[in-house]
Amino acid sequence: MKILVIGGNGTIGSCVADRLKQKHEVITAGRTSGDFNVDIENKKSIKDLFNQTGKVDAIVSCAGATKWAAFESMTEEDFYIGIKSKMMGQINLVRLGQEYLNAGGSFTLTTGILAEDPVYMTTNAAMVNGAIHGFVLAVSQELKNGHRINAVAPGLVEDSKEKFGDYFPGHNPVPMHKVANGYVRSVEGKRTGEIIRIYG
């Protein structure tokens, strides 16, 4: 398969890209690195990306930011950081990516455990991840051309344990190969509308 991994140089994205490369042709895109540049907050940038890559068999998104801050300090604009990036950025990848996805191809979006098991200072991430879960369940009933869509929801990943572990008290860090397996399951499997929880 020809697979586009967006956010392919992040902690999760680079691991996923490396794993998929074992069996597939992988092209990566990122804000400042990868085979192509893309800003998922910008629809024109997304269209430019797809025009450069041409048609692919799978579109994998490991991209999107959210605001990490205490609720009492969160402004309305802070909430829109995650809305514009990880929420609508990923939804726009699906909206605009459909015509560049071969028949029978798949979308795989990234959410996270915070949708269902949030920790302190994660109101923005929790809402964004929860939104994408609902979206995936709903849109899987409407995609054409045999397109599938799933979300991978990783817990705190082992490679982020040192940096972020203190923010996730009592969470079990998830080995990176299990996270990568979630994406393989989505891309190579046949299910659609699945929230693939990799919680450790």
With binding defined as CB under 8 A, does residue 146 bind a copy of itself? Answer: no
Q: Is 70 in the site for a copy of itself (CB under 8 A)?
A: yes
Residues that bind a copy of itself (rule: CB under 8 A) add up to a total of 41
Between the two ends of the chain, the Cα-to-Cα distance in Å is 28
CB of 25 to a copy of itself, least distance (A): 29
Least separation in angstroms between CB 129 and a copy of itself: 6
Among the residue ranges 6-14, 17-25, 142-150, 176-184, the one whose residues contact a copy of itself (CB under 8 A) = 142-150
Buried-state track 67-82, b at ≥16 Cβ within 10 A, e below 16 = bbeeeeeeeeebbebb
For a copy of itself, the binding residues in 156-185 under the rule CB under 8 A are none
Residue 106's closest CA among 192, 181, 6? 192
Q: Distance (Å, rounded) from C-alpha 119 to C-alpha 38?
A: 30
Exposed, middle or buried: residue 38 (CB in 10 Å: 0-12, 13-18, 19+)?
buried
- Chain positions contacting a copy of itself, by CB under 8 A: 43, 70-72, 74, 76, 79, 83, 87-88, 91-92, 95, 114-123, 125-135, 137-139, 141-144
